[in-house]
Amino acid sequence: MNSATISQPVEDVQGDGRWMSQHKRFITEGKEREPEVLFIGDSLIQRLAQTSVWESMFEPLHCLNFGIGGDQTQNILWRLTNGELDTVEPKVVVLLAGTNNYNNTAEEVTDGILEIVNVVQTKLKSSHIIVMGLPPRGETPNKLRDKNAEINFNLSQKLENMANASFLNTDPSMFVRENGLISHTDMYDYLHPTNVGYQKLCDPLLEEIQNLLQVFMKVENTSMTISTTASDVDD
């Protein structure tokens, strides 16, 4: 049995109910905010919302962030099947998940991510889902880096011809230098990106989102403005 594909809430071992509180807040925010773009994932997504990259690149596009630190694919599945997708109708969904599934094989994590895609497509039939490749992790080469690379390869194959879905690979060379090391200037703890790291990670993502929305932003002295095309008008 693959635990990565079986929805499960996070156990409240600390006793303060924070995980469930965030889940309930997401449901409320989705109803109130009506996002064009919905981000789903773990701390890599969650922490993005606290950066200047989020403020400048994604807030103008009416994005909402449903990331919770520590979540594994099964936890995200539980959230999505228990209300988080019931109050939103985004045009684009961005998913980044799987790096926390330490006890699962690359194949199992791949299946867990694909199950999330299935849930999103079942509940949000008109949305396009962008599945982001897992970034490399660890200062030096390690087995989790290798595992994430294998997951990315699997996803690239599985999502290649899937309708309303696309795989956005994370090029390891953005973070891994020629000597095989990741710098703390890109990932301060060798897992979570700095502002510089998020900029590298999100530049190609923003381009993909803009192409799907047909809403384009241009940089002018580090500030961004929105320009739209005629196709932005709702049918």
Catalytic residue among 12, 86, 189, 203: 189
Catalytic residue among 156, 166, 183, 192: 192
The reply to whether 192 belongs to the active site is yes
Q: What gap in Å lies between CA 208 and CA 205, rounded to an integer?
A: 5
Strands (E), the chain: 37-41, 63-67, 92-96, 128-132, 165-168, 215-220, 223-228
Pick from 5, 197, 208: nearest CA to 112: 5
Residue type present at position 150:
E
Pick from 189, 208, 206: nearest CA to 69: 189
The reply to whether 173 belongs to the active site is no
| Tokens (6 digits) for 122 | 């079942």
Catalytic residue among 3, 7, 43, 56: 43
Active site residues: 43, 189, 192
